[in-house]
Structures are given as structure tokens and as C-alpha cells.
Structure 1
Amino acid sequence: MEWRDEGVLLSARGHGESAAIIEVFTAGHGRHAGVVRGGGSRRIAPILQPGAQLSLAWRARLDAHIGAFTVEPIRSRAGAILSDRLALAGLNSTAALLAFTLPEREPHPDLYAASLALFDALAEGSDWPLLYLRWELNLLEEMGFGLDLGSCALTGSREDLAYVSPRSGRAVSRGAAGEWADRLLPLPPALLGQGPASAAEIAAGLRLTGHFLENHLAPELGHRPLPEARRRLVALLSRTA
């Protein structure tokens, strides 16, 4: 069995004396693991950093085997943001959530494209927090837990949407919420395309996506806790708010 593809590195860990086991996200083969012989060497180890774009060749005797990767660097992203604590936290959270949520060897080309755009924004130092927040919404959608923010769940109105039901994930207008407002999750206007996102709106949006990641998606994955990398990012962003 053999294939070639391009992908972004999610994680790498030592294996034996000199090898490494890496996990990558590719457009054509989804989340995929394999051994890199010599991956712990001085020549290859610096290449195997989260967020790195790699040219990959995977080979195994049987498809069920973990197999071995041959890797060539295309673009390093971690090196470009090592001096930016917040951007590095964003990169680590993105990689960790992909590794946490994606089924093995299942392609998600749309999510792959959105993830590359986010990784590039992080490396380029552009205004990425809103892009990251929208990426988490995209991740929920790809995993079957998408939010319906187009109209009010109670009235069908598209006006003055201010909340989200924590159970159904549907938007609720301010007027329809009434006395139930304190039981609903705030919906930041920026997620409706209404102007730029303030730090406070980003923090509120991450509380919104975090609720569905933790209480809807995680139970489907065996009730595992969300990655610590996401908690660190949320804490850093919340401080700026």
C-alpha cells in the first residue's frame, strides 16, 4: 500500500532510538499517523513541528498497518510565530482540536482548506482570532454538530438574533428569549457578520463553541476532556477582553 499527498503536521513524538511517530491532516487521506525513520535526528526533527506543511509519501505492507512516512518540508509555520505567545497558542489549539476530533483516515477536504487558511493567518500575524472562532464553528459543522444561526428557533425571524439554545444549537431572538434569556448562550454579533469582533465578542464566541465542543461533541468521543491547548488559548484571549 502506498500514497502521496500534502498535509499539515499535527503532532510528533519520539519512537525508539531515532524514529518519530507523526500525525498529519491531509485533504485526501484525513488524519493519518505513521513512522518517520530518523525523525529524531538533527536533520529531520526541526522539520517535524506542529503546523508544518509537508510533502508526504506513506507506505505499508497492509492498509491496516501504521506504515512509514517519507517527508519533505514545504513550509514551516511554528518558527514564524515562536515569538508571538498568543499566535503560538492558537496554532497549538488548532492542531490539538484536529487530532482530538477527526476520525482516522477520513477525508474532510473543506475543513482541510479552512484549517490551512487559519494556519497561514497565524503564521503571517494577521488578525486571526475571529477566523479561529469561525474555524471552531466549521469544525462543529464537519463533525455533525453545526449551529443554526440563520433565524430564530421560536419565531423564524432573522432580526435581532442575540442568543443560542444550549440544547439545540439554534439562534433565538432577543424578544423571543424573554424570561429564558439567562438560560441561553449569548450570540456575538460578529458571528452574524455584524461588524468587526471585539476581544469581548471573541471570548463570548469561544464560550459558545466551547459549550458544544464539550457537551455535545466530546461525549460522542468517549467523554474525553477537551485538549489543554484550547483551554490555554481561551485563557489568553479572555485576558485581552
Structure 2
Amino acid sequence: MHLSAPAIILAVRAHGEHGAIVRALTRDDGVQPGYVRGGRSRTLRPVLQPGNSVAGEWRARTAEQLPALTVELATTLAPLHAEPLAAAAITWATALTATVLPEAQAYPRIHDALGGLLDAIVAAPSARGWAAAFALYELLLLAELGFGLDLERCVSGGAADDLAFVSPRSGAAVSRAAASGYEAWLMPLPAFLRDGGAASWDDIFAALRITGHFLARDLLVGRAADVLPARDRLVDRLKRAVA
């Protein structure tokens, strides 16, 4: 087994006295694990930070063997790890991706969207510049993994206009007319989640409520739910940032 590819570091786990097991996302070969010799050294610790982009090379004698991985840094997000809000965003984006994606299956749209999200966090002067993109990234993950929401037509009657809510049971949109009398049991649907465009903070938090509900219900179950506190910390920081 020999693979050379650009990759985004998703997760790093210490192994032995000096090494590290790294999971990184490639565009064409999906999540690839590898053992980095000396991964806990002063030289490699700054390279092996979640969110960093690297040129990776995986080598193994057999398909069953954990490959040896060597990396060369391409882009570092190290300065952002000193900023609590940006660090929380990077931590959640990479932890979520590492948790829900199976290994060695290509998800090019997820790879490109994660790269775009991380670029937005780097470039944006405030969370307002990337928070909406975060909700859209979570929505994409749900769709790519088979749990997409139906936000195009009303689940009751099929109307495509005046869609104002999402059913927490079906994951489908509900028109304002069909929701009459049941609003308390539904989740408000912000327009940008369906159509893109500008989003207020109220819209962003409404979108994160929707994606968070379905992530917890459909993808982050069992041991995978252990990563959810990282999302809670991110949302709490976002709320404090706009308070």
C-alpha cells in the first residue's frame, strides 16, 4: 500500500512513548489513518494539529497493517489555536468529521467543504463570517452520509413556498399554513439553510439547532456521542460572542 496525497489533519492520538496515530482526510481516498514516528516530538507536534493541511505519504506492506505516515506541512492554523472561539470551531469541525466518516471512502464534497470552512475561519475577522458556513457544513455531512433533510417541499401537502419550519421527526420542511397550531413542536427554518444568502445571528442559531438535533439523533450515537460536548462549547462561545 502506497498513497501520496494532500490531506487535512482530523485527529491525533498518542501511541507509545514518541509516536502518534493520525487520521487525515484526503479528497480522493477519504479518511486515512497512519502511524507517525516521532509524532509527539517538538518538530512534529506543531505539524500534527487538527485543521492543518499537509502533504502525506502512507506506506504499508499489507492492507491489514496500519500504514507508516510521513507528513510535510502545507498550511498551518496554529495561530488560531490561541483564539478560543476559532480554536473551538476548528476542534469541532475536525472532531465531527473524524467521528462520522468511515475510513477509505471518498467524500470529495465533504473534503472541499471542510477546506472551505477552515479557510473561512482563517480569513474572517469575526465569527459572523463563518458561523453560517458551519451550519451548512453540518447539513452537508448529514446529506452525504444518508441523513439529508428534505427542505424543498412541505411534508404536508407538498407546497414549495412559505416553508417556515422543520419537523424534528421527519427532517422535512413544513409550510407556515400546515404548521398552524403546531409551531411549538417544530423548529424554525431559516431561509439561508435552504437558499443560501445572508443570515442573521437568530438565523444562524436556528440553523445550528436543526443540524445539532439531527446530528445527535442520526450520526452521533453510542460512543460517537462523546464528541458532542465540543459542539456545546462552540455554540456557547458563539452565543457569548454576540451577547
TM-score, normalized by the shorter chain, greater than 0.5: yes
Equivalence map 1:82-121=2 (5 Å): 82-121=81-120
Establish whether residue 233 from structure 1 lines up as the match of residue 242 from structure 2: no
The 1:43–1:6 alpha-carbon spacing in structure 2 relative to 1, beyond 3 Å, is: same
3-state SS of paired residue (2:22) = strand
- 1:30-78 per-residue CA deviation (whole Å, 9 max, x = no partner) reads 112111111112211111111010101101111121111011111102x
Give, as a single letter, the amino acid of the residue that structure 2 aligns with 1:40: R
Aligned match of 1:20: 20
The 1:223–1:44 alpha-carbon spacing in structure 2 relative to 1, beyond 3 Å, is: closer
2:99–2:224 Cα contact (<8 Å) kept: no
| Percent of aligned pairs with the same amino acid | 41
Residue 96 of structure 1 and its aligned partner are, at CA, apart by: 0.7
Residue 84 of structure 1 and its aligned partner are, at CA, apart by: 2.9
1:199–1:238 Cα contact (<8 Å) kept: no
3-state SS of paired residue (1:202) = helix
Give, as a single letter, the amino acid of the residue that structure 2 aligns with 1:96: A
TM-score of the two chains, using structure 2 as the length reference: 0.92
Let me know the Cα RMSD of the aligned residues.
Answer: 1.7
The CA distance in 1 between the partners of 2:119 and 2:197, in whole Å, is 23
Residue 13 of structure 1 and its aligned partner are, at CA, apart by: 2.3
1:80–1:123 Cα contact (<8 Å) kept: no
Give, as a single letter, the amino acid of the residue that structure 2 aligns with 1:94: A
Instruction: Give the gaps of 5 or more residues in structure 1.
Output: none
- 1:175-206 per-residue CA deviation (whole Å, 9 max, x = no partner) reads 11112221111111221337521222211111
1:20–1:36 Cα contact (<8 Å) kept: yes
Query: In the comparison of the two structures, how many residue pairs are matched?
Result: 239
3-state SS of paired residue (1:42) = coil
- 1:208-237 per-residue CA deviation (whole Å, 9 max, x = no partner) reads 101101112234x66634432111111112
Residue 125 of structure 1 and its aligned partner are, at CA, apart by: 2.4
The CA distance in 2 between the partners of 1:99 and 1:195, in whole Å, is 28
3-state SS of paired residue (1:227) = helix
Give, as a single letter, the amino acid of the residue that structure 2 aligns with 1:10: L
The CA distance in 1 between the partners of 2:74 and 2:163, in whole Å, is 43
3-state SS of paired residue (1:237) = helix
The CA distance in 2 between the partners of 1:195 and 1:49, in whole Å, is 32
Aligned match of 2:69: 69
2:12–2:49 Cα contact (<8 Å) kept: yes
Q: Which moved more, 1:11-20 or 1:57-66?
A: 11-20
Establish whether residue 5 from structure 1 lines up as the match of residue 12 from structure 2: no
3-state SS of paired residue (1:151) = strand
Establish whether residue 199 from structure 1 lines up as the match of residue 190 from structure 2: no
Instruction: Give the gaps of 5 or more residues in structure 2.
Output: none
The CA distance in 2 between the partners of 1:223 and 1:63, in whole Å, is 26
The CA distance in 1 between the partners of 2:3 and 2:196, in whole Å, is 44
Give, as a single letter, the amino acid of the residue that structure 2 aligns with 1:133: A
The CA distance in 2 between the partners of 1:99 and 1:114, in whole Å, is 14
- 1:103-129 per-residue CA deviation (whole Å, 9 max, x = no partner) reads 111111111111110111112225111
Give, as a single letter, the amino acid of the residue that structure 2 aligns with 1:100: T
Give, as a single letter, the amino acid of the residue that structure 2 aligns with 1:181: E
Establish whether residue 53 from structure 1 lines up as the match of residue 70 from structure 2: no
3-state SS of paired residue (1:28) = coil
Give, as a single letter, the amino acid of the residue that structure 2 aligns with 1:107: A
The CA distance in 2 between the partners of 1:80 and 1:197, in whole Å, is 27
